[in-house]
Amino acid sequence: MVIILGVLGMVAAVLFFVIRAHGTVQSLREVDRDTKGLQARAKSTLQDIIGTPLRRVRDVRLAAVILMIQLVRTGSPITAAEKASILSFMEDPLEIEQVTAFYDRAWGYTEHRRPFSLVADELLPLLREKLTEPERLHLVEMLSAVASAHSPASDLQGEALVRLKRRLISSVTTLKANRSDG
């Protein structure tokens, strides 16, 4: 009889702890669900203060290579022709000495199937600050050449390039207008 009561007590204790743990897990899930907005706001504020990895890029040549790689990675895997085109631009006109290491570094900033505009938007302030109007146009030409290295640029790539060009050139036009007013 004592053994049966001992076994029943142990079963009851295990059952109590399992039910208690299940209740705790459910409570934690509710708290997590209820605080999703706060978590997102905290992450956004942290990114505003520290910046995303792309916002910390300070080398215009690195930004150009990132854009070239991301443009071709947006739709499909990068082809040999596209990579050769990027490497060619890295040698001339970008004049990068350690092409392979630099390419690998730029590759780390890109993501497969990430929309090109998301990457370009984060690099726009740097490009606007550091590039002249002819350099901006040349960057768009390089991106167009890379996009059409393997096959004609896709509609998605074409639209992304038009958007980038408009945003790069409109900032020059706005600056010129502001200077002439002042």
Percent residues over pLDDT 90 in the chain? 53
What per-residue confidence (pLDDT) applies to 44?
A: 61
Give residue for tokens 């947006």: 74
Q: How far is CA 178 from the centre of its chain?
A: 32
Q: Give the whole-number percent of the chain exceeding pLDDT 70.
A: 85
Q: What is the pLDDT of residue 120?
A: 94
| DSSP notation for 113-124 | T--HHHHHHHHH
- Identify the pLDDT of residue 169: 86
3-state helix, strand, coil in the chain (%, to 5): 80, 0, 20
pLDDT at 81: 93
Residue holding tokens 């207008």?
177
Backbone φ/ψ region at 92: left (φ over 0), alpha (ψ -120 to 50), beta = beta
Q: Helix crossing, 133-147 with 80-91: angle to 10°?
A: 160
Q: Which residues contact 172 (CB under 8 A, 6 or more apart)?
A: 133, 136
Query: Helix count (H) and strand count (E) of the chain?
Result: 8, 0
- Alpha-carbon span 148 to 119, nearest angstrom: 19
CB of 150 closer than 8 Å to CB of 106: no
pLDDT band at 85, cuts 50/70/90?
very high
Among 69-73, 109-113, 175-179, where is mean pLDDT lowest? 175-179
Distance CA 82, CA 85 (A): 5
Question: Measured between alpha carbons, how far is 68 from 145 in angstroms, rounded to an integer?
Answer: 9
How far apart, in whole angstroms, are the C-alpha atoms of residue 36 and residue 60? 36
What band does 141 get if pLDDT is binned at 50, 70 and 90? very high
H-helix segments, 2-152: 2-34, 36-50, 60-73, 80-91, 99-107, 116-130, 133-147
